[in-house]
Amino acid sequence: MPIDDGQFDCPNCGEPVPAHAQACPSCGSDDQTGWSDDTMYDNLGLPDEAFGEEPSRPTRSGTAWFGSIAVMLVIVILVLVLAGVW
């Protein structure tokens, strides 16, 4: 897929690659990795499971739930007192 001046289109992303480039400047693909989609994430130091998954929601401990319930109870009591019901 030559362009002008010895450039060629990257087989992975389609961007022009300079003639003597070691890898595609756009996506990072190269001859050693087979011009694959995964090369753009190589050498980032991130675990493999970091890609393509949604982050997990943190779980609350028993004391956190107790604190939330206590705060809601105080708000309800305050509303009842201010409304003159209690």
Cβ contact 24:18 at 8 Å: no
Task: Assess contact for 28 and 43: CB atoms under 8 A.
Answer: no
- Compare 38 and 7 and report the one with higher pLDDT: 7
For 34-86, what is each residue's pLDDT tens digit? Answer: 665 555 555 556 665 655 656 677 776 777 788 889 999 999 999 999 999 87
**Greater model confidence, 57 or 17:** 17
CA separation for the pair 17, 19 (Å, rounded): 6
- Give the model's pLDDT for residue 25: 83
Confidence band of 2 (pLDDT split at 50, 70, 90): very low
Backbone angles phi, psi at 52, to 5 degrees: 85, 5
* Secondary structure tally for the chain: helices H, strands E: 1, 2
